[in-house]
Amino acid sequence: MTGGSPALAELRPLLTEVGDAKRVRVADAPGSLAERAFARAWGRLVAGEDAAAVALSETAAAVARARLAGIDGAVLRTAGLTGDDARDVLRRGFDEVAGPLDAGLRARLREALPLAVPTPQPPPLAERLNRQPRAGATAPGRPRVVVEPPESHGDHCLTVAVYGVLVAPVFGADPVAPFLVGLAHHLHNVVLPDAGFAGEVLLGSALDRVVTTLEERELAALPGPLAERLRTVLRLRADAGAPESQAFHAADVLDRVLQVHHHARAAAFTASQALDDLELVHAGPVQAFHLDVLAAAGL
């Protein structure tokens, strides 16, 4: 890890908020915000857009929606804001959470923050991965721990891709390769349902053949230059030697563990946290009346 970059512990709160896009939805389209970004990123790559532009703009948008959720440039323009006013809103959302980022990366992302993002047709693999649930935590010889709702592979892959960009400076890595590996590292699950680590162990010596066959099946259906680029960067999964490999593997394990922390937090959430810590009944002209109502109801 490089000395002048933020520590992973400093990035963790931001990563947690970015990952919550797996659980946020809006009315105008199905799927979580992460799943929609996953499909959009694949569509942009298949349409031939520069991978660096896709990586930086999608990551910048992910940071901004940590606080703005589904309020993006298109919504703001529809609501009557000028382009400059809409951009100011997006940058305020970005700036509110982007402080822990490496300064150079933060500047690049802020500049790439999209006011409007192209939405070309995504390849079929993106829709399938958005529908394919992840197994969660499994272990050989033990019953599966089922948590609801399960995240999708689209949720996971988009989040790992974005995390790969955000942690890249920690490892001295170029951010584009970890982003691409994050998007593509579960191509085999387009066909293969996820049985987790327990299932992989039971596949035994067939595991590598199954994964390779199914991954190549999806790569072969992509435009040639994109498929070859992905074949190259997917080799980074083999170890944690190169800086880009380290950034990807760090992003992957952080997302897997932060997902478990999410379920633990959700299970432990209390009403007093909402009322006291988050000020559910927030300040305003009718706050006193609201509090009187709750007191009268014994709440």
Q: Report the pLDDT averaged over residues 93-112.
A: 97
pLDDT on residue 2: 64
pLDDT on residue 58: 98
pLDDT on residue 242: 97
pLDDT on residue 283: 86
- Give yes or no for residue 144 having a pLDDT over 90: no
- Give yes or no for residue 278 having a pLDDT over 80: no
pLDDT on residue 129: 98
Q: Is 46 left (phi over 0), alpha (psi -120 to 50) or beta?
A: alpha
pLDDT band at 121 (very low <50, low <70, confident <90, very high): very high
Q: Report the pLDDT averaged over residues 222-235.
A: 98
- How far apart, in whole angstroms, are the C-alpha atoms of residue 246 and residue 156? 18
CA 88 to each of CA 101, 117, 173: distance values in angstroms, whole numbers, following the listed order: 20, 16, 30
- How far apart, in whole angstroms, are the C-alpha atoms of residue 6 and residue 115? 28
Cβ 21 vs Cβ 32: under 8 Å: yes
pLDDT band at 6 (very low <50, low <70, confident <90, very high): low
Cβ 67 vs Cβ 96: under 8 Å: yes
State the CB neighbour count (10 A cutoff) for residue 247.
30
pLDDT band at 43 (very low <50, low <70, confident <90, very high): very high
Q: Report the pLDDT averaged over residues 11-27.
A: 96
Q: What is the 3-state secondary structure (H, E, C) of 36-77?
A: HHHHHHHHHHHCCCCHHHHHHHHHHHHHHHHHHCCCCHHHHH
pLDDT band at 270 (very low <50, low <70, confident <90, very high): confident
- Give yes or no for residue 3 having a pLDDT over 80: no
Q: Report the pLDDT averaged over residues 229-247.
A: 97
- Give yes or no for residue 4 having a pLDDT over 60: no
Residue 63's contacts (CB-CB under 8 Å, 6 or more residues apart) are 14, 18, 94, 97, 98, 101, 109, 166
- Give yes or no for residue 95 having a pLDDT over 90: yes
- Give yes or no for residue 263 having a pLDDT over 60: yes
